Amino acid sequence: MRETVGFKVFRVVIIVVLTLFVIFPLYVMLTSSVKPLVDVQSVFTWWPTTFTIQPFIDIWNTVPLATYFTNSLIVSTIASLCSVIIAIFAAYGVSRFKFRGRSVFTTAVLSTQMFPGILFLLPLYIIFVNIHTATGIPLVGTLGGLIITYLTFTLPFAIWMLTGYFDNIPRDLDEAAKVDGATALRSLWSVILPVARPGIVAVIVYSFITAWGELLFAQAFVGQFQDLRTLAVGLTEYSSQTTVFWNQIMAASLVVSVPVVVGFLLLQRNFVAGLSAGAVK
């Protein structure tokens, strides 16, 4: 079916409008990060009247940004690695084995995605407090508790996506490995995982991004402890009762976005391939 000229023009207009809608906030953030504070607080200008990199220097002194950066890196890395490791075994079991309760498990995994995350805030907090009371293991006010919290968000999606990805891998590969004497774990490690690399990369990227930018649960569980705050919580400290350092907020936002953007660009091909293949099922 051939496209009409009117439809082509309409498509181009829509693409241009959407592109501008996405680029404009990024442009404002970039230009505001190289303006003096007085310029950011005054009338908006499209280009800095005074170009300065001082906000990029001040962001490390106004708040302990390096500490927050380290905390976010630790939490996001461990949460993404734990998520993909658990999801691999769970998805492989669901995809390759028949067991009682299999359909109930898959339904329960998918059903968790229907509820907004804020509904789990109070229940998780109460559970963590009760665990501390019963066992003495602190989870509220620790990075470990925050990692466990993020696993509750990322694991269902990771299991669902990897299950769909494993289902698309021919079972003949498993049978060939068994003929050669490989166990189920050996088959998973040597045969399935190399083929499923794009799906695994997609899960890691998704889990990392989810943990890196999350604010609500980080504020509730570690927000009251300055040495444990993550970047999302730390960015709010650039605002005081009398002044909001908008130029530093924009500069800090650019800095904290660098790891995610660079990682996504490096893994973009595998990430897109993993998402598309995992969504087929």
Domains, the chain, with CATH or none: 54-278 (1.10.3720.10)
Please tell me the distance from the alpha carbon of residue 280 to that of residue 264, in angstroms, as a whole number. 22
**pLDDT on residue 174:** 77
**pLDDT on residue 96:** 83
> Long-range contacts of range 243-247, CB-CB < 8 Å, 24 or more positions apart?
245/37, 245/55, 245/58, 245/62, 246/32, 246/37, 246/40, 246/41, 247/32, 247/33, 247/34, 247/35, 247/36, 247/37, 247/39, 247/40, 247/55
Task: Report, as an integer, the average pLDDT of 50-65.
Answer: 88
Average pLDDT of the residues of the chain: 84
Q: Would you place residue 119 in the very low, low, confident or very high pLDDT band (cuts 50, 70, 90)?
A: confident
Q: Would you place residue 281 in the very low, low, confident or very high pLDDT band (cuts 50, 70, 90)?
A: very low
Evaluate if residue 276 carries a pLDDT over 60: no
Evaluate if residue 222 carries a pLDDT over 80: yes
Task: Report, as an integer, the average pLDDT of 101-107.
Answer: 82
Which residue has better confidence, 164 or 137? Answer: 137
Task: Report, as an integer, the average pLDDT of 207-219.
Answer: 89
Which residue has better confidence, 165 or 217? Answer: 217
Q: Would you place residue 202 in the very low, low, confident or very high pLDDT band (cuts 50, 70, 90)?
A: confident
Q: Report the share of the chain in percent with pLDDT over 90.
A: 20
Evaluate if residue 77 carries a pLDDT over 90: yes
Q: Which CA distances in Å does 207 have to 99, 115, 125?
A: 28, 18, 21
Please tell me the distance from the alpha carbon of residue 208 to that of residue 223, in angstroms, as a whole number. 20
CB atoms closer than 10 angstroms to residue 22: 9
